[in-house]
Amino acid sequence: MTNTVTVKIGDIDATGVNIDAVAKAGGDLIRIQGVSFTVDDPSQYYVEARAEAVADAIDKAQQLADLSGIQLGNPFYISEGGGFAPIYRDYGLMAAEGGSVPTTPISPGETEITLTVQMAFTIQ
């Protein structure tokens, strides 16, 4: 029988201590599948990413129009894709492949938020 528990820890500095406590309490019966880091509310980052993605799409479309000798019109199609990509490390797999398993404390690194915008423009 297997039970899976997801734990959300707000204090990054407490992560290693909590993992150690769980491992000690569970002994050989506990399996920690991995650690991932997320952003509680990524919406503020999406606003900025969306603005940059739209500006980039317009710049690229304008450059293509200029190179082609055509007049770029208004956008008639806009689509957004992508999203938050949590960083996940499967340290158990790394150990099985002969790699070294990092010990606690945990170092979060960086979290990347990606967003893709597709736009289609009329040609005048």
pLDDT tens digits, one per residue of 107-119: 667 778 888 999 9
Lowest-pLDDT choice from 18-27, 52-61, 70-79: 18-27
Query: Is residue 95 over pLDDT 80?
Result: no
Q: Is residue 111 part of a domain?
A: yes
Mean pLDDT of 50-74: 95
Q: What is the model's pTM?
A: 0.58
| Full residue range of the structural domain in which residue 108 is found | 12-123
User: Residue 113 has what pLDDT?
Assistant: 82
1: enclosing H helix or E strand:
none
For residue 91, give the 3-state DSSP assignment: helix
User: Residue 104 has what pLDDT?
Assistant: 63
Q: Is residue 6 part of a domain?
A: no
Q: Is residue 1 part of a domain?
A: no
Most confident option among 9-13, 32-36, 40-44: 40-44
> Strand 35-37 and strand 87-89: pairing?
antiparallel
**Domain CATH code at residue 62:** 3.30.110
How many domains does the chain contain in total? Answer: 1
* DSSP letter (8 states) at residue 98: T
> Using CA atoms, how far apart are residues 111 and 85, in angstroms rounded to an integer?
7
